Chain A
């Protein structure tokens, strides 16, 4: 063994961009499920979830109950961390750096600075470079995604409209992001400066996206996925994986639906498999038509 030879110092570096973004790369092709109890977390793990999002109320209940939605109780997050071996994520309010610090101290694997909770700062998001724990943030368009990445986000999810069981906004936001990336691909170097100004995003990031043809971090979809076909749709539209919030534990048979969504996410381009796993799942969550939702009730407009 030459693993400890003096020429290769083994000083470990934690919290690097590669370690943070690399963590999200490991989640690709997978489903991240909202859970509110250790029992639900186990059901999610048994169904094949790649991670769980620990929160006090799923977005559908946050909508119903109203009031200020905050970071979850540390005891509840601990309970979920103890219950499963897969990564555990948790949400902080937008701009609430202390909630984020607390989540890092609790040892969660990813922090979602989330519009589903009530924003704590209407101007600034949290400086995510200051943390060892990686962050995922929502975005409705490319400029928003790049601003979050500039602040240190190591993963992006299209926002959709959480807690509605309606996939229409998830589709809109993912198409928007992908469409804007495709447009950048067609620009020459002179035009990229103006594009960066329009996107209100750093020029270096804009140029990187134009060259890669994708974000420099993993892109998932969130907000409104309720069926295996919804999950497969988001993957066909270019999402590298999906978050499912209320769609699982607000349905008739959560364990079966969760496993079915996992399978449909892997075989998203195989309609026969999606059909097979969609049989006999019981009731899907009821869902909300977006035209009945007042502007103030739209979470996707939170964040700037």
Chain B
């Protein structure tokens, strides 16, 4: 099996150039598969750093919200004063990418939120948590993603959400089983699946490009 834990192969890491070449991109490091996203971002040419505090958030040009448990990430973001700064940065146009729990965090609405579960929001969509079922129903399947060249990505869906409904400003980049599972709205990107677990860094390359383009 491929894991993302071994770091980029020699020659694929970003050259030691100025910030324009390797944008500083954070991974929200409250809980979840932070290390895999840091590895994938580095392989995609970003300078990847963990973010747990408001001052660390202020120092990045883009942010990944990782897979994890969305209720836990939401509660910790609230408890440590990150929720409002996150909302402000997203409103101000900071590029952000969320996988799985991160997709839930970037949704304006959750269909079945737990009490006190708040999101950062930004993408005009309604998501259903654990939509594909419990862990026994978790699966892998090939998913064609618009804007990602070179064939389908390996979609790893783990107790994954899907998008129940999508606003006019948001675009579905991929569907599975009739439901959007990859979405983009402006500088915000979200996938129900986990590219960070596959060793295929094309989705992270797309996001790193979005960060570069946002300047």
By a beta-carbon cutoff of 8 Å, the part of chain A in contact with chain B is: 1-5, 7-19, 21-23, 25-30, 45-51, 85-87, 104, 107-110, 132-134, 211-212, 214, 216, 259, 262-263, 266-267
Residue B172 CB within 8 A of the other chain:
yes
B160 to A: closest C-beta gap in Å: 10
> Could you tell me the dominant secondary structure of chain B's interface residues?
loop
What would 13 more interface pairs be, CB under 8 Å, given A22-B33, A25-B36, A28-B31? A8-B143, A18-B198, A19-B158, A22-B194, A26-B67, A28-B32, A29-B68, A30-B31, A45-B71, A46-B116, A85-B71, A85-B130, A267-B80
Which B residues touch A263, using CB under 8 A?
76, 79-80
B105 within 8 A of A: no
Interface centre among A22, A28, A110, A259 (most CB of B within 10 A): A22
Query: A110 near B135 (CB under 8 angstroms)?
Result: yes
Any A CB within 8 A of the CB of B72: yes
| Residues on the B chain within 8 Å of A3, using CB | 143-144, 174-176
Q: B140 contacts the other chain (Cβ, under 8 Å)? A: yes
Residue total for B at the interface (Cβ-Cβ under 8 A): 56
Is the Cβ of A26 less than 8 Å from the Cβ of B176?
no
What is the bound-complex CA distance between A21 and B129, given in angstroms? 20
**A216 to B175 CA separation, bound complex (whole angstroms):** 31
- In the complex, the answer to whether A48 meets B72 with C-beta atoms within 8 Å is yes
B100 to A26, Cβ gap below 8 A?
Answer: yes
Contact present for B140 and A10 (CB under 8 Å): no
Q: Chain A residues with Cβ under 8 A from B130's Cβ?
A: 85
Q: Quick check: which of B1-9, B10-18, B205-213 contacts chain A, the rest being far away?
A: B1-9
What separation, in Å, do the CA atoms of A248 and B197 have in the docked complex?
Answer: 32
Q: How far is the CB of B77 from chain A (nearest CB, A)?
A: 10
Instruction: Tell me if B135 and A48 are in contact (CB < 8 A).
Output: no
| Neighbour of A25 across the interface among B33, B141, B175, CB < 8 A | B33
B69–A107 touching, CB < 8 Å: no
**Once the chains bind, are B156 and A18 in contact (CB under 8 Å)?**
yes
